[in-house]
Homo-oligomer: A and B are copies of this chain.
Amino acid sequence: MDITKLSINQKTTIHWSLPECIDGCVRHKIPSIGIRREKIKEIGVKESALLLRNSGLKVSSLCFAGNFPYLNSNQRRERLDDNRRAIEEAFLTKANVLVIVGGVLPNGDIKRALSLIERGIDELLPYAQDSNIKLGIEPLHPMFAASHSALVTMEETNNLLDHYDSPYLGIIIDAYHVWWDPKLYEQIERSKKRIFGFHVNDWITPIYDYYTSRGMMGDGFIKLKQIRKAVEKAGYEGPIEVEIFNSKLWDTSYDEVLELCKERFRKYV
């Protein structure tokens, strides 16, 4: 894939601050960046917004808000407040989309967590609409159903989107999370016109840690080109984010990582 579509999610270069990552993307002629809230926090959202504007980089997404399931009304209010702050951050940084990760309940109750995720979206969507910020719901791999999100299939996510049918609510398709799904291509088609983001990386084996052993494109099993074409056919024309959680990559030189991302993006995406 042509690198005019390339975006680097900050998670790929985890030890870089936002200024360092902006600088890296500019130096390596990468046109877009996917930013992280924890990195914005380090220097403040106004400073972040200023740096991003001056860099000329497009902001493909802000990661992430959501985490809706709550145990009591205090927690519910805290989550909503935090999610509203995320919308404001997305607005100020001119992010294409705010990525939403559903969240879990500590007792592992999937059905109840899914219902609380829906309730959370009910509450958040009006704020997103008022700020003209799109929310992109990212189904995670089922491996994360206990720890990160009970929402783990594209089908369940599309069911939810059907229910709202809002131009402010769409799906983020991350190859790592969905590649295994026998319904992958039918669900991509079903996501037509509401795909708000596309993330690439690879599935490598063996997994040595469920969170940090994600692979570089081309190193694993995912048919990225095939998925990318399906995503395009479903109407997505936006940036494609490289988002790699990989503890080995994190310990190498990020200038080399960015060059490798470009090379692999051209070849495998």
Pair A109/B223 contact, Cβ less than 8 Å: yes
Q: Chain A 198-227, CB within 8 Å of chain B: the 1/0 string?
A: 000001011111110000000011110000
When C-beta atoms are compared, the residue in chain B nearest to A152 turns out to be B180
Contact of A146 among B110, B142, B203, B211 (CB under 8 A): B203
Range of interface residues on A (Cβ < 8 Å): 20 to 34
Pair B107/A181 contact, Cβ less than 8 Å: no
Pair B205/A114 contact, Cβ less than 8 Å: no
Pair A206/B205 contact, Cβ less than 8 Å: no
Q: How far is the CA of A147 from the CA of B205 in the complex (A)?
A: 7
A56, CB-defined interface residue at 8 Å: no
Q: Chain A 143-171, CB within 8 Å of chain B: the 1/0 string?
A: 10111001011001000000000000000
Given contacts A206-B211, A207-B210, A210-B210, contact A145 B180 (CB under 8 A): yes
Q: How far is the CB of A260 from chain B (nearest CB, A)?
A: 21
A108, CB-defined interface residue at 8 Å: yes
Q: How far is the CB of A238 from chain B (nearest CB, A)?
A: 26
A134, CB-defined interface residue at 8 Å: no
A141, CB-defined interface residue at 8 Å: yes
Pair A142/B181 contact, Cβ less than 8 Å: yes
Q: Chain A 49-64, CB within 8 Å of chain B: the 1/0 string?
A: 0000000000000000
Q: How far is the CA of A147 from the CA of B110 in the complex (A)?
A: 26
Pair B211/A209 contact, Cβ less than 8 Å: no
Q: Could you say which residues of chain B place their CB within 8 Å of the CB of A221?
A: 107-108, 146
Q: How far is the CA of A221 from the CA of B104 in the complex (A)?
A: 11
Q: How far is the CA of A203 from the CA of B150 in the complex (A)?
A: 14
Known contacts A156-B182, A206-B210, A208-B208; 6 additional CB pairs below 8 A are A110-B180, A114-B182, A142-B180, A146-B221, A152-B182, A207-B209
A-B interface, 6 closest residue pairs, ranked by CB to CB distance from nearest: A108-B221, A145-B180, A207-B210, A146-B221, A142-B180, A147-B205
